[in-house]
Amino acid sequence: MLEALWVRLLLAFTAVLGIAVATIAIFANLTMTSEFRDYESEASAMLNERVSRIAGRVYREQGWPGVATYAQRTAEAVDLQIVVVDQQDSVVVDTERVLAGGPMPRNARIRTAPSLLIGDAAGATIGTIYLRPKGQDRAEAFLADVHRAILLGAGLGVFVAFVVSLLLARRMVAPIQQLTGAVQKLREGDLSQRVKSPGGGEVGKLSEAFNTMAVRLDLAQRLRRNMVADVAHELRTPLHNVLGYLELVRDKATEPTPDVIAAIHDEASVLKRLVDDLQQLALVESGQLQLSRRPTSVSALLQQAVAVVEPEVGSKDVDVAVEASSDLPDVWVDETRIGQVVRNLLSNAIAHTTAGGRITLSAKYLGGVAKAVEIAVADTGPGISSGDLPYVFERFYRADASRARVSGGAGLGLTIAKQLVEAHGGSMRAESEPGRGACFRLTLPTVPLPAVSAGKNVPRG
């Protein structure tokens, strides 16, 4: 129970507020008592001095009887007990009429009251006057009432703090509890879990991050299922064809002619291509792919890629144009790998461009902080829908029919291309409007200055 976050928050809030309330209560109590005592002491001192002075004057004028009369009137007026003793410590005046006419008992309570000396006309001491406020008990009762009120207020404050802390802790922890429940269900395999974001702040950002993660996990799960299905499909067809040819040869239904052997070889090549693509993708994603970088001419790279796909261009009757200045700075890449990327993009563009269409390869220097060259491959094909565009680089992702794989590839080309570009420190993105073609842009770093001055390849680090 104590491990629950809301309980710990509740205890923390209550402790902080309780300490604050207790501190205020103690300070108020001490201040109140001190101020009251000071006031009481000052008032008592002023009264004592006045009574003593007047009593001395009355004694000089009227003797002890006059002092007794004055003391009685004063005691009744200000609610005092006044006791006057002479030099022999005999009580001559007691307004309460308890001690009068006898010696002052040593343990008399009045001895603890403030006392002042009474003098005659010559200044000689003739007695002592004791003044005990009869309201002393009421003063103590007043202070006790004040103390109880402060204590009650502090207790009430702590209780209110506890209730408010409970509500705040519950309110603050509710999104986290919801998030915890969603995470547990996500762990159990329910990838449809989403949480309501409470707004800004750390918890809101955490909720948004969870929702984003859940969406990506759900997509990854679907892509993984699709990948397994696609790999199985990609393997099934050539394997069935190979087995079919071999069974025909085994059953002597056909002869192992060069055409049959060539057909088996073609199907085996499809299998090898799929395995090679998967292996290359695994190497790139794990960072284990070795790159042999060297300064590479962008114009030559594009021209070489066009030359390789020339047979495909001729068979589709499309126009391919290269728009790249010869004075572009060299890029710092593995020429073989980036050539593979450009050829893959060209092959895709050719496959999805109808006869009479146009494919444009262009390159420009970005300059500035980027210090990179951007290569673009644009076609005039049917384009990619906005719903499919964010996922074109996912492995085995199936776009709409206009972009479905028709070339027999495994659907890993764009995934591998993007990974290869990013392994060079570049980036790759796709742009498209349905019906207006697609454009793939990749940025590649230019040759770093040390490599330019040395005139040689610098190993990838």
User: Do the Cβ atoms of 394 and 223 come closer than 8 Å?
Assistant: yes
pLDDT at position 339 is 92
Question: For the residues 308-317, what does the mean pLDDT come to?
Answer: 84
Superfamily for the 294-454 domain: Histidine kinase-like ATPase, C-terminal domain (3.30.565.10)
Q: pLDDT by residue (tens digit) across 186-206?
A: 888 887 888 777 766 777 788
Q: 166 forms bridges with which residues in the sheet?
A: none
What's the CA dihedral at 291, 293, 297, 298 to 10 degrees? Answer: 40
Cβ neighbour number for residue 324 with a 10 Å cutoff: 19
Closest to 318 (Cα-Cα) out of 340, 342, 348: 348
Q: Calculate Rg over the CA atoms of the chain.
A: 51
103 phi-psi bin (left φ>0, alpha ψ -120 to 50, beta other): beta
Question: For the residues 143-152, what does the mean pLDDT come to?
Answer: 85
Determine the Cα–Cα distance for residues 367 and 378; give it in Å rounded to an integer.
22
Q: Identify the architecture of domain 5-149 in CATH.
A: 2-Layer Sandwich (3.30)
For the record, the structure tokens of 43 come out as 């008032």
* C-alpha to C-alpha distances, 313 to 48, 319, 354, 358, 379, nearest whole angstrom: 122, 7, 11, 10, 13
* C-alpha to C-alpha distances, 125 to 63, 246, 260, 274, nearest whole angstrom: 14, 142, 146, 125
Determine the Cα–Cα distance for residues 373 and 298; give it in Å rounded to an integer.
8
Count of residues making up the chain: 461
- Confidence grade of residue 379 (pLDDT, cut at 50, 70, 90): very high
Residue 303 pLDDT > 60, yes or no?
A: yes
User: Do the Cβ atoms of 208 and 197 come closer than 8 Å?
Assistant: yes
Residue with tokens 């009887």: 65
Question: For the residues 404-420, what does the mean pLDDT come to?
Answer: 70
Residue 456 pLDDT > 70, yes or no?
A: no
User: Do the Cβ atoms of 329 and 365 come closer than 8 Å?
Assistant: yes
Three-class DSSP category at 83: strand
Residue 455 pLDDT > 60, yes or no?
A: no
For the record, the structure tokens of 449 come out as 């200055």
* C-alpha to C-alpha distances, 283 to 66, 290, 325, 419, nearest whole angstrom: 119, 9, 34, 10
Residue 2 pLDDT > 80, yes or no?
A: no
**Using CA of residue 72, residue 77, residue 79, residue 85, what is the dihedral sign?**
negative
What's the CA dihedral at 437, 442, 443, 445 to 10 degrees? Answer: -150
Residue 56 pLDDT > 90, yes or no?
A: no
Determine the Cα–Cα distance for residues 327 and 456; give it in Å rounded to an integer.
20
What's the CA dihedral at 378, 380, 385, 389 to 10 degrees? Answer: -10
Closest to 333 (Cα-Cα) out of 282, 379, 289, 303: 289
**Using CA of residue 371, residue 394, residue 386, residue 378, what is the dihedral sign?**
positive
Mean pLDDT rounded to a whole number for the chain: 80
- Helix, strand, coil fractions of the chain, as percent rounded to 5: 60, 15, 25
DSSP 185-248: HHHTT-TT------SSHHHHHHHHHHHHHHHHHHHHHHHHHHHHHHHHHHHHHHHHHHHHHHHH
pLDDT at position 400 is 47
Determine the Cα–Cα distance for residues 268 and 245; give it in Å rounded to an integer.
12
pTM of the model: 0.49
Q: pLDDT by residue (tens digit) across 313-337?
A: 888 888 999 998 878 999 999 999 9
Lowest-confidence segment of 129-133, 182-186, 424-428 by average pLDDT: 129-133
pLDDT at position 267 is 82
Determine the Cα–Cα distance for residues 40 and 348; give it in Å rounded to an integer.
100
* C-alpha to C-alpha distances, 408 to 213, 262, 269, nearest whole angstrom: 33, 17, 11
Return residue ranges of the chain for CATH 3.30.450.
Answer: 5-149
Task: Tell me how far the alpha carbon of residue 357 is from its chain's centroid.
Answer: 51
For the record, the structure tokens of 456 come out as 């040689």
User: Do the Cβ atoms of 131 and 82 come closer than 8 Å?
Assistant: yes
Q: Identify the architecture of domain 201-286 in CATH.
A: Orthogonal Bundle (1.10)
Q: pLDDT by residue (tens digit) across 238-284?
A: 788 888 888 888 888 888 888 888 888 888 887 887 788 778 777 87
Pairing mode, if any, of strands 115-119 and 91-94? Answer: unpaired
- Confidence grade of residue 403 (pLDDT, cut at 50, 70, 90): very low
Determine the Cα–Cα distance for residues 29 and 36; give it in Å rounded to an integer.
11
